[in-house]
Every structure is written in C-alpha cells, then in structure tokens.
Chain A
C-alpha cells in the first residue's frame, strides 16, 4: 500500500476526534473521506498533511514513517475550502510559490507555472490577483498551486463546498479528470455524498472519529454494513427487526438489529391480485422530483418511502397503493460498526 494510516488517534481536550483509525490507500487512487461535520474526516486529512500530529499511531508513505517529517518537507499538495490563495501575490506567483520554496531552478519555474495554468484553463489569468477572480477560478488556481511542485499526494479539504452548485458540478468533473490523467494519489474530504459517489474510487465513511465502512460507491450503496452507512449514502427505509412483520422477512431471524429497503427497490403490484406478499398502504405525500416521484406511504402506521420512475399524476394523497418488497431488496443492518 502506498499510504498507510495505522491506529491513528487524536484528541482535542476531552473530545476524541480520531479513535484508532487504520486505513490503506493505493498509489494513484482517489479516496474520499465522507461523513457528517465533526466526524474527524478533516482531522484525518490534516494528520496526513502533517498539519496535526496524531496522539498515537503512524502515517507511512511507501513503508517509511512520516511522523518525523514536517509538513513543509512532505511534498504533498493541499487545497482548502476557499480563501487560501495569498492575497498579496498574483496568480502566477501563488503557483510559483511552492516551486521557489522547493528550490526549483529559476529556468524551470516559469514553464511549470504555464503548464499547470494550462491544466486548469487559466493561462490568461496569470497576472491577476486572487480578489479579481471568481470563486471557481480561485479554486482552480489553488488546485494548480497544489499540483505545481508535482506532489506525491494531493489533499483536498472540501474544495468545492463554498462554490455555487453549477460551478461545483463543472469542477467536480474537472478535478476527477485531472486526477486520473496525472495519476496522483488523492485524498478528498467531503460531506456531500454525491460528490463522493461521483469522484471517488473508494469512499471512507466516517462517524464520530471512527471508520464505519470503506468501499467503492457501488459497494457502499448495495452492501452497507450498518444503519449509519445505509442512511448516510442514499435513502433507506429502516424497520427494527423485532417489530418487522413484512412478509419477505418471515422465517428469517438473525442478529441484525434492522432491516432496510431502498425506496427504489419497492415494487408496485396490482391492487386486485391476491399475492400473499402484497402490502397495502395509503399515500400521504407525493413529491415530483423530475426523473422520479417520491411517495410517502403509510403501511400499518409505519412510514415507507418509495421512489417510482417518471411522473405519477394518478397518485393523490389518501389513495391506496399495493406494494411488494422483493426478498433480494432486503438489507440486514447492525446498529453500529461491528
């Protein structure tokens, strides 16, 4: 493994930000740390960068411990949320800064600045100052500045969350393409599941200072190991196992605390059919969301969400709907990490 985090713990006063975190990151992959605010994802990124020292544990690159290496000698690139460009320097000087600090030969600096500016499509902005640029342009420059010294690891700390939705979408694709093209090992922190799903090779779902699950986007969606992951990625109907009397679960008792069903996996059946696994529910809410319609259904005083493709003008509040839950749509979930 290229980058290894071994049993990392970090406390801030009485708050435990990271609790015995272990993780291995491959060369060239893009890993997302995903979780709610305060879950420790940013702290973990800062530990990798060398901006925080862990209380316990080790960070290794290519089998060599980084603990004794200060941030400025690690040659990692970092992009913060926003406002991290030096306001007193032009775009070109900002980008050249890391090269000067790392003692690149003078003759090599200008071409490299030009090269990374071209990568982020900002060659015509080289002589502007940060405050003359839009938010999206500033983040592109920040990315160029981080990439200029050819870092061995690129660290992105919520780089898109301060931007408008449209710019965010553009930049997501751009960063991912750039990362793939350059093949630079990248760690990105985000609280936006869509961002993680779109960009990451692997997602590390974190909560309260621990890793809940690591896996590819599809893995996490299809096989969440517990309730937290299931609810954090996508939507999931959850029913306590002890109270569940859904036909599909009958006769299968195990130690899982919950069973979960994705809203889009619930199927409609003909209301008149006398299938034994059909359930009847009353429509309580119906929201049209473009490519699909989200319905809140009341089944035996329990709310179920279901999502149906396209627009359903035929459903009104109070109408009755018959559904079935396929056995293969059922997830068995623990309460917390095993």
Chain B
C-alpha cells in the first residue's frame, strides 16, 4: 500500500518530463513551419485581397479585366495540360520498358532518365535553344528558320524536365504486379493487348493519376524553362516574376501567385488522396511477376528507352559541348574562355550555392527528421495538424513562397528582418520549399521502425529523448543521409523560390545561369550550368563512397 502511494507520484513525474520533451520538440518544429510557410502564405493572401477600398476581390477583378489575364491563364493551362499528357504517356512507356521487359542496359538507361533531376531547372530549355533556337545548330546548319520559342519550346523542355518524376512514380506502380492475375488472363485466352488493357492499366491507374497530378504541378509552377524559351509566351510563373521584378507591382504578383497556388494545391491534394486510397488496395499475398525474355518486346522496349534517353542526354550534352567551344554554333573550336567568368562576381555564386546547399542540407535534416519523429509519437489531432503543415509546402509553388518571403522578411517591423538578404534565408527558403518531400522521406523510414523498439526502450526506463537518441536515430541513420543529399541537390539546382531573395552579394549559381542567359551570354550560362552539374555529380559520388565505406552501400540516394 505504502509502496504504491510512493510509486504513483514518481511515475506521474516521469510521464510529465517525457510529455514535456515531446511538446518542446513539437513546438521546435511547428514554430518555424508557421514562420517560414504559413506566414508568407498568409501575407501573400492578405496582400492579394487588400484594396484601397478595403478587403475584397477588387484586385482579382482588376486583373481579370486586363487583356493579359485570359491569355496568361490560358497559356499556363495549355502548356501544363499538353506537357502532362505527353510526359505521362512517355513516362509510362519508359517505365514499362524498365519494369516489364527483359531489355539489357536497364541500369544505364534508368540512370540517364534521372539526369534532369541533377541539373538546374532551365538546362532543358538552354539545350533546346542551342539545338533549335534562332541561332541554334539546326537552323544554322540547314539554313532553316524553325521558331522554337513559345508554346512548343516550353512543352518540349518541360516534358524532359518532368519526365524523371513521372518515370519514378510509374516505375514504382509497374514494379508491383500479381502474377496470378496475368496467368489467369492468359489461360482464359486474353491476347497481349487485352491483358494490357484489362489488367496492367487498371492495376496501375493510381500511379497514372498520381503521375498526372505531380507532373501538372511541376509544369504549371515551373519558372526556369518558360523564362529561357518562352519568348513572348507568358505563363503564370513568369508573369509573377515580371510583375514583381520588372514592375515592382507586388499586389498583382500576389494575385497571380494565388491563381497559381490554386491549381497546384488542388493537384497536390488530389494526389495525396489518390495515394491513400491506393495503399488500401495492395494485397500482401500477391505472387511476384517474373519477367521472361521475349525478343521482340524487349527489342521494342530497348529501342524506345534508348530514344528517350538519347534525347535527355543530347540536351545535357549539347549544353556541355556549347560551354567548351569558342562561340556556339559559329565557331566550334575547343575553348575554355567561358569558364573564366569575367562577369558577375566570377565563380563566387557557385561557392555561394554550395554554402547555401550545405546549410540547407544540415537544417533540413534536423527539421524533417525531428518532425517525422514527433509526428510518429503524437497520434492525435495535433499530430495530424503537424503532418498537414509539414506537407503543405508541396502545394506551394516556389515563386509564391519566394514572394511571400519578401512580404514577411523585408519588413522592418518583423524581428526576423535581419535575415533578409542573408545566405541563411536562402537556405531556410530551400528547407521549407522542399519540406514536404524531405519530411516524407524521413517519415517513411521512421514509420518502418517497429513500435516494439520504443516500447522496449520505454519499459526499460528510457525517456523519450533517450529512445530517440539511442534507438530511433541510429536505425534511420542511412535515411538521414538520403534527406541531406536530397536537400543538397535540390538547393543546388533550384531557381524559382530563391530568385526573389538573392541580392548581388548572395547570388546563387542557378540564378547566375538565368541572368547570363537573359543577358545573351548563353555560352557562359552553359558553362555555369556545367559547373552546377559537376558539383552535384561529385557530391553524389562522394556520398556514395561515404555510404559504401560505412557499410551502407544499399541505401538509395535518389527518391
């Protein structure tokens, strides 16, 4: 009796201190999310609704009446819809060749298909301009006058840009298959075409829908490619930039930002909803489908995949080549003169980029892993709210977030105003711009840990923090590296959010590429792109080596 009364308060205290550490950690991840995601969005929405006559839709009505409105919105939707259809079809065929044929060279082809992920998000447009532009190789060599600028150019560039995303999603969808369904259909007399229509397509429909929404979001929010190859063809993302950077019209920028936010948000919500339904339909007892050799099918698959890879590689290759010749395409003598970088702080933006990317990786790892651990522990409405906040950035286009940051941090009444114009705000912007993806990588691996470990640690007297430190973090160490690599690569190549935040002193490499291209200095833009790709490639190789040396060579770096 006495023993119990003595023990009871002690247990209560123990529970309390654990509770407090969870609450403290939750606050530590939630507060920055409010400051760096919610506040910028709020300021942007506020600005878009505030008019001289009070709060209302006045700004939207004004913009909707302007001659530009219909054209820009129409352009955006036309580009996004066309690109999405092409990318999903091509991505499906490519993923099918990779997963459902026995063609050779799969590793090489798969690696080439992912190359666009590791290049600045305007390299595709740059490469296409080198090939088909006014002074491109094709027009100059054959005396043609193909006009690639505008709709066609943006669509081609964005197909190549978004293809790896579609490929990864569809490849995952095609990787799982129940052999029994295929064999049943075969025995029942179904032809190859019928099996594809009645089994393969229906069983991958969620992947197709998911890829459709993801690609649509990527394309409608893409800024770099339309900027380089769009010409007079304005889309929402470039229009925000023109309004804000060109005319200093923040209010119209905010209005267009909200217009861009809506379709992106709808697409992201739809995609999450679809994937949730999808998980419920996978049966755990399916028989894996074994792919056997079929010469003709494999040959067709190889031919198609090689063609797709040739196009992806050609674009990158032409950028590399153009950076090493005297004057593309007139003087093709090898020259290193574009690597002297005699303008714009020389090579400094590249070092800035590396610094920002390393900072973003460090902060991103801490923020997303902590967030994932807290979300795992707090299984109530608060936990769900944290989860929602964490993946909210997926729906926020980079241009919108960047504009929101100006509104929040370029404001003398904000105590965090000192961040504005620093490298730190660039890193933080990247951390929260890509927070959803980083958080999902972390969540996936944290959720794979059986709760038995937590319970064992707790029952042995370990506190929550101790369980985190000695059990959970060591188990997910490889994923921590994955999150870091993800942040490093994204921060090296991203353009859209940081374009609003750089100053001459804090210019990053991807922005340099855009400015060089804008100034007509395309060969130097190519050289700068090559430097970025080189840094990314070296970083990937370095991480690979580190992982292999530490005995974790099996960890995927690309997700």
Cα–Cα distance between A49 and B199 once the two chains are bound (Å): 20
Contact indicator B194/A51 (Cβ below 8 Å):
no
Cα–Cα distance between A86 and B186 once the two chains are bound (Å): 12
**Partner of B190 from A74, A80, A101 at Cβ < 8 Å:** A101
Say whether A292 faces chain B, with CB atoms less than 8 Å apart: no
- Whole-angstrom distance from the CB of B281 to the nearest CB of chain A? 7
Contact indicator B189/A149 (Cβ below 8 Å):
yes
Contact indicator A72/B187 (Cβ below 8 Å):
yes
- Whole-angstrom distance from the CB of B103 to the nearest CB of chain A? 21
Contact indicator A72/B191 (Cβ below 8 Å):
yes
- Give 1 or 0 for each of B179-205: 1 = CB within 8 Å of chain A CB: 011011111111100100011001100
Contact indicator B180/A86 (Cβ below 8 Å):
no
A-B contact pairs, 28 of them (CB 8 A): A50-B187, A51-B186, A70-B186, A71-B183, A72-B186, A72-B187, A72-B188, A72-B189, A72-B191, A76-B187, A80-B184, A81-B180, A83-B283, A84-B178, A84-B183, A86-B181, A86-B185, A86-B198, A86-B199, A87-B281, A88-B203, A89-B198, A101-B185, A101-B188, A145-B184, A146-B187, A146-B188, A149-B189
Q: Which residues of A contact B183 (CB under 8 A)?
A: 49, 51, 71, 78, 80, 84
Q: Which residues of B contact A40 (CB under 8 A)?
A: none
Cα–Cα distance between A81 and B181 once the two chains are bound (Å): 12
Cα–Cα distance between A71 and B190 once the two chains are bound (Å): 9
Cα–Cα distance between A51 and B181 once the two chains are bound (Å): 12
Say whether B249 faces chain A, with CB atoms less than 8 Å apart: no
**Partner of B184 from A70, A73, A78 at Cβ < 8 Å:** A78
Say whether A97 faces chain B, with CB atoms less than 8 Å apart: yes
**Closest partner residue, chain B, to A73 (CB atom):** B189
Contact indicator A98/B285 (Cβ below 8 Å):
no
Q: Which residues of B contact A78 (CB under 8 A)?
A: 183-184, 187
Say whether B286 faces chain A, with CB atoms less than 8 Å apart: yes
Say whether A61 faces chain B, with CB atoms less than 8 Å apart: no
**Partner of A83 from B178, B189, B191, B194 at Cβ < 8 Å:** B178
Q: Which residues of A contact B190 (CB under 8 A)?
A: 72, 97, 101
**Partner of B286 from A74, A83, A102 at Cβ < 8 Å:** A83
Main secondary structure of the interface of A (DSSP, over half): loop
Say whether A77 faces chain B, with CB atoms less than 8 Å apart: yes
Residues of B within 8 A of A (CB): 178, 180-181, 183-191, 194, 198-199, 202-203, 281, 283, 285-286
- Give 1 or 0 for each of A152-177: 1 = CB within 8 Å of chain B CB: 00010000001000000000000000
* A82-B285, A83-B285, A86-B199 given; A101·B189 CB < 8 A: yes
Say whether A19 faces chain B, with CB atoms less than 8 Å apart: no
Contact indicator B198/A49 (Cβ below 8 Å):
no
Q: How many A-B residue pairs have CB under 8 A?
A: 77
Say whether A75 faces chain B, with CB atoms less than 8 Å apart: yes
- Whole-angstrom distance from the CB of B149 to the nearest CB of chain A? 44
> With A51-B187, A86-B202, A97-B185 given, can you name 7 additional A-B contacts, CB distance below 8 Å?
A51-B186, A71-B186, A80-B180, A80-B183, A87-B281, A98-B188, A162-B285
- Whole-angstrom distance from the CB of B309 to the nearest CB of chain A? 31
- Give 1 or 0 for each of A95-118: 1 = CB within 8 Å of chain B CB: 001100110000000000000000
**Closest partner residue, chain A, to B195 (CB atom):** A72
Cα–Cα distance between A78 and B188 once the two chains are bound (Å): 8
- Whole-angstrom distance from the CB of A134 to the nearest CB of chain B? 15
Contact indicator B285/A77 (Cβ below 8 Å):
no
Q: Which residues of A contact B188 (CB under 8 A)?
A: 72, 77, 97-98, 101-102, 145-146, 149
Q: Which residues of A contact B184 (CB under 8 A)?
A: 78, 80, 84-86, 142, 145
Contact indicator B181/A101 (Cβ below 8 Å):
no
Cα–Cα distance between A77 and B186 once the two chains are bound (Å): 10
* A88-B202, A101-B194 given; A83·B187 CB < 8 A: no
Q: Which residues of A contact B199 (CB under 8 A)?
A: 86
Contact indicator A74/B185 (Cβ below 8 Å):
no
Q: Which residues of A contact B185 (CB under 8 A)?
A: 86, 97, 101
Contact indicator A102/B189 (Cβ below 8 Å):
yes
Contact indicator A84/B180 (Cβ below 8 Å):
yes
The 10 closest A-B pairs by CB, nearest first: A98-B188, A101-B189, A84-B180, A88-B202, A78-B187, A71-B186, A80-B180, A101-B190, A102-B189, A72-B189
Cα–Cα distance between A84 and B181 once the two chains are bound (Å): 5
**Closest partner residue, chain B, to A142 (CB atom):** B184
**Closest partner residue, chain B, to A88 (CB atom):** B202
- Whole-angstrom distance from the CB of A175 to the nearest CB of chain B? 17
**Partner of B187 from A74, A88, A89 at Cβ < 8 Å:** A74
Cα–Cα distance between A85 and B181 once the two chains are bound (Å): 7
Q: Which residues of B contact A73 (CB under 8 A)?
A: 189
Cα–Cα distance between A74 and B187 once the two chains are bound (Å): 7
